[in-house]
Amino acid sequence: DAGVTQSPTHLIKTRGQQVTLRCSPISGHKSVSWYQQVLGQGPQFIFQYYEKEERGRGNFPDRFSARQFPNYSSELNVNALLLGDSALYLCASSRPPHSLTDTQYFGPGTRLTVL
């Protein structure tokens, strides 16, 4: 089976712009989580979606939003980009039933650079 896929691989934007990142979970997985990994740091939790509903939100401003589609793929949107938003954005999926103990399967990430 294919793993978690993310697009695009790399992205360059300027301050103030908006960006949309996309994630396709492993087939059969219904939960998708998003993380931000700043260079030299561990991933920080942004959102978790399960069955198209937001099930968790990390400490990120309202400029960050996400949604999950009926096919369980997901988009992460970031508005009014700041230089500090430059990071690797990771998507992870997990199989049902939704549980905090689920193993998460990570995609390779989208590298966002804000100039």
Partner 1 sequence: AQSVTQLDSQVPVFEEAPVELRCNYSSSVSVYLFWYVQYPNQGLQLLLKYLSGSTLVKGINGFEAEFNKSQTSFHLRKPSVHISDTAEYFCALTGDQFYFGTGTSLTVIP
Q: How far separated are the first and last CA of the chain, in Å rounded? A: 37
Is 111 in contact with 8 (CB distance < 8 Å)?
no
Q: Based on the shown chain and the rule CB under 8 A, indicate whether residue 60 belongs to the binding site for partner 1.
A: no
Separation of alpha carbons 8 and 22, rounded Å: 7
Contact region with partner 1 (CB under 8 A), list: 19-27, 63-71, 78-86, 98-106? 98-106
Q: Which is nearer to partner 1, 81 or 90 (CB)?
A: 90
Shortest approach of partner 1 to residue 44 CB, angstroms?
Answer: 7
Q: Based on the shown chain and the rule CB under 8 A, indicate whether residue 30 belongs to the binding site for partner 1.
A: no
Phi, psi of 85 (to 5 degrees): -85, -5
Of 107, 110, 112, 114, which lies in the binding site for partner 1, with binding defined by CB under 8 A?
107
Residues 32-51 touching partner 1, rule: CB under 8 A, are 33, 35, 40-45, 48
Which residue from 60, 62, 50 is spatially nearest to 25, judged by alpha carbons?
Answer: 50
Token pair 């993380």 in the structure block, residue: 35
Residues lying near partner 1 in the complex (CB under 8 A) are found at 3-4, 33, 35, 40-45, 48, 56, 58, 90, 92, 100-101, 103-109
